[in-house]
Chains A and B, each alone.
Chain A
Amino acid sequence: MAVPAALTSKSPAIPHVSLARRLGRSDGFVAAMMMLPAGILFALFFLWPFVSGFWLSFQRWDGFSDPRFIGLGNYWRLMKDGVFLLALKNSFIFVIVSILAKNILGLALALLLNRVTFLRGFIRASVFVPVTISFVAAGLLWAWIYNPVFGLLNAGLEFVGLASWKRSWLGDANVALYAVIVVDVWKWLGFHAVIYLAGLQTIPSELYEAARIDGANARRRLWHITLPLMVPVIFINTILSLSGAFVRNFDIVHVLTQGGPNHATEVVITAMVKAAFTNSQMGYAAAMGYALFVLVGGICAILVYWLGRTRFKV
């Protein structure tokens, strides 16, 4: 009704309004066309695998013969599978230790960087270099650092008189998982530090000056000014490291230990790939993926809710 009225409008006073209104009406179609390519990619490589994989997780299938529907069979089996449970436990240790290390060390490094002016750019760029190299390169590099024969770590321990600490870092089931986590932290530390540094730079310096005049020492300034104001940045860094640590550790584990020795460094993703491609249990592997998805999604949601509440209270 309004469109023909606008089109046939003979009043020269309001052509702009009618033109804008006409364009406004066509937004729906233009928007659909603009989002179509992204929608196709999303449907093909996200929605389709998401739905078909969910269906697959209720079936027993070796990848070739006819799949058989077994209901929740795969999920029941997960709960009794010692290797999967160990992998789940390792994933949780991986997540907790790496998040704490990345955030505490990252914030500490950012606080240091924030205090210096000389060479700041160079130091900031240097700590960021490991972020840019691949997990494969970082993993291979550390495989040689941990090498029991000529590795840097054992040579360094001998050099400082701690020869008794020497060991096969990736072959010893007691330390292998932590040795892998160190590599993950090494690679990502600069990333979190740079984000923390940017956050620190948004804090107005008047606040610190006022606190100093009131006689607050460095520790109290950190506790009462820096940390409360950094809550949103801590939140971002935690979410970034959480989703990363849960599911993006395949590369590093595969390169360093392939899940060994005796599953000591097995994480859910490596267990999933083994189930699918070594044991040809496609349905079971898909169930592992969904179990992990539900866990990560649930934890993320709880964390967002909880941090969101505390953030608004502060």
Chain B
Amino acid sequence: MSSTRDVPPDSSRAFTAALERIGIYAALAIVLFQTLYPLLWVLFGSLKTKSELINNVWGPPTSPILDNYIQAWQMAEMGTRIVNSVTVTALSLAILILVVTPCSYALARLRFPGRNIVTGLVVGSMLVPPQVLAIPLFMVARDLGIINSTIGISFIYAASIMPLSIFIMRSFFLSLPFDLEDAARVDGAGRVAILVRIMLPLARPGMALIIIFGFIEVWNDFFLAFLLLRQPAVQTIPLGLVNFFQQYDSLWNLYFAALMITTLPVILLFVLMQRQFIAGLTAGAVKA
């Protein structure tokens, strides 16, 4: 009895399922709209004249004006800024990798007294973001004479993303099998050789993850750059954007163009690497 009552007729069940599916896709369409349309709107705006921007708020430009991009590039001194951002980001990531790899290997694989204390320090400093230390960090940078130095700020960036990176790399090294390493040690390989020849190639996904994280963090950072890079000649893209925005009043279409110039490369990079990116991110977060 009950089994026949519980099962609705096929057509009605298919109808509810279809309705549910429509509901889900409608909700997702709203989500997509609020994420993508603002970006599309900036793209449209960057190709309009100033008057069209006010008269034609929503739609695509009637006749795209690429000249906005050239003007924005020159007025925001984009060339210098891009070179600075690339230099600082590349240098920071190079320092980060060189420092993080041996340290996280040692924490994951070597036996030594105080290992738990060091690991605890790493986790503890993950919870203290550099923003809290902004004022003393500025004083230290001044004492070291690295205000307005792209090399100096690269070391500070590397230091600020180091705890999280060590934590991620350490868990990657921990997840690798011990057998390979033991075999190499029996064959007489030293610790450094094992790290470079055997462990590093295996830990490549972990490295990719910390490079991607580090890239987003450093490339997009405004706060530390705002504190430490005070001369226009050494400033990075985010600082340039804000200065441009505050310096010229109401050149909206040019702001849009400048915003597109600086945002599009990052979005493209993400789209190209999104598979590894999301896989790495979720593996780290859900395992931990």
Taking Cβ atoms with an 8 Å cutoff, the residues of A that contact B are 16, 19-20, 23-24, 26-28, 30-35, 37-39, 41-42, 44-46, 48-50, 52-53, 56, 109, 112-113, 115-116, 123-137, 140-145, 149-150, 152, 155, 186, 190, 194-195, 197-199, 202, 215, 233, 236, 240, 243, 247-248, 250-251, 254-255, 269, 272-273, 276, 282, 285-286, 289-290, 292-293, 296-297, 300
Contacts and interface: CB of A to CB of B under 8 A. Distances in A.
Nearest to B32: A126
Interface stretch (B67-75, B121-129, B203-211): B121-129
Contacts, number: 261
Contacts of B39: 129, 141
Contacts of A24: 111
Contacts of A272: 134-135
B133 interface: yes
A34 B127 contact: no
Interface residues of B, number: 96
B267 interface: yes
Interface of B: 6, 24-25, 27-28, 31-32, 34-36, 38-39, 41-42, 45, 53-54, 57-58, 95, 98-100, 102-103, 105-107, 110-113, 115, 118, 121, 125, 127-129, 131-140, 144, 155-156, 158-160, 162, 166, 185-186, 188, 190-192, 195, 216, 219-223, 226-227, 237-238, 241-242, 245, 252, 255-256, 259, 262-263, 266-267, 269-271, 274, 278, 281-283, 285-286, 288
Nearest to B268: A132
A106 B47 CA distance: 33
Interface of A is mostly: helix
17 contacts: A19-B188, A20-B186, A27-B112, A28-B112, A34-B103, A34-B105, A35-B103, A38-B99, A46-B125, A52-B136, A116-B24, A132-B266, A150-B252, A152-B38, A186-B35, A194-B281, A290-B132
